[in-house]
Amino acid sequence: MILGDAMHGKATALALLLLAGSTSVSLAHEQKLEGSEWGVIGDDEATGRFISFAGENRLFGFGGCNRLTGTYEQHDSHLTISPVATTKMACAPDVMAREEQLLDVLAKVRGVRVDHTLLLLLGEDGTDLRTLTRRGGE
């Protein structure tokens, strides 16, 4: 009886390990950015800064004052964003400064990690440059 319980425990542990392996494969698949939209944490969703990853590797968004457009390349967790073009509106200095900070981050992105509803934009050395939150549902 004790031997049977031990074998059952090992079988359960093995099943959990296999399940954990399939979850990580699924998580890697979910990291594909196409069709997703991400907002800057702390900004109002209706008027705040965001970036959206569209089809054909197109990126667009709003920097707080100006509309943004560009392209991106994603291969698994590696992400690069082309130089982003913006409209040329002028806004209050603090708004312009926040927009410039976002543009600087986008220029430095070399990687990405999705953690549920968070998007971590990573630099060359893997450091977290900016964390964004998913907009508009899953």
CA angle 78, 79, 84 (to 5 degrees): 165
User: What is the reported pLDDT for 94?
Assistant: 94
How high does pLDDT run on average in the chain? 82
Q: What is the pLDDT of residues 53-107, one digit of tens each?
A: 999 999 999 999 999 999 999 999 999 999 999 999 999 999 999 999 999 999 9
| pTM greater than the 0.95 cutoff | no
Whether the Cβ atoms of residue 85 and residue 61 lie closer than 8 Å to each other: no
CA distance 138 to 124: 28
Q: Is 66 exposed, middle or buried (0-12, 13-18, 19+ CB in 10 A)?
A: buried
Name the CATH topology of 33-134: Lipocalin (2.40.128)
User: What is the reported pLDDT for 8?
Assistant: 45
* Range 18-31 average pLDDT: 37
